[in-house]
Structure 1
Amino acid sequence: MAERGCSSVSVVDTHRTRPPLPPRLSKGGQRTSAVQTLLFLLVALALCGMMIEACFIYRLYQTEQVSSATISKLIGGDEASATKPPGEDVLPSKPVAHLTDGPDVVHDEHVMAWSMVAGPNLYEIKYENKELIIQKEAYYYVYSKVFYFLDSSSFTHEINVKTERYAGGYITLLQSRNNSPTPGKIQSNSYLGGVFHLYKNDAIYVNVSNTRRIARHKSFENVFGAYMI
Structure 2
Amino acid sequence: MAEGGEGACPQVFVVDTQASYIPVSSGKGSRWARVVPKCLMLLVGLTLLGLVVEGCFIYKLYKKTEEFPLCKYHPLCRNLSHPQTSGQQGGTILSQVGLKESNEIPTVLPHLDQVQERPFAQLIGSNNPVGEKNVVLWENINGETVTHNMGYNEGQLLVEKEGYYYLYSKLTVNAEKPCLLIQHKVMKDISEYGESIELMRSKSSRCQASAKGSDKGDLWSSFLAGIFHLKNGDKVFVTLESIDSLRSGPTDNLMGAFMIFPGKILQ
Q: Give the TM interval when normalised to the shorter protein.
A: 0.5 to 0.7
1:128 equivalent to 2:128? Answer no
* Structure-2 change in CA distance of 1:146 and 1:92 (3 Å): farther
Mapped to 2, the partners of 1:129 and 1:172 lie a distance apart of: 18
* Structure-2 change in CA distance of 1:105 and 1:149 (3 Å): closer
Choose 113-122 or 124-133, whichever is displaced more: 113-122
Q: 1:114: which partner in 2?
A: 138
5 Å matches for 1:1-229? 92-103=116-127, 105=129, 107-108=131-132, 110-115=134-139, 116-150=141-175, 151=177, 152-166=179-193, 169-180=195-206, 182-183=208-209, 184-185=213-214, 186-216=218-248, 218-229=249-260
* Structure-2 change in CA distance of 1:109 and 1:212 (3 Å): farther
Aligned sequence identity (%): 26
SS in 2 for 1:212: helix
Partner deviation per Cα, 1:40-93 (whole Å, 9 max, x = no partner): xxxxxxxxxxxxxxxxxxxxxxxxxxxxxxxxxxxxxxxxxxxxxxxxxxx945
Runs of 5+ consecutive residues of structure 1 not aligned to the other structure: 1-90
Task: Report the aligned-residue RMSD.
Answer: 2.0
Runs of 5+ consecutive residues of structure 2 not aligned to the other structure: 1-114, 261-267
TM-score by length of 2: 0.48
TM-score by length of 1: 0.55
Mapped to 1, the partners of 2:223 and 2:134 lie a distance apart of: 17
State the AA in 2 paired with 1:176: S
Mapped to 1, the partners of 2:134 and 2:207 lie a distance apart of: 23
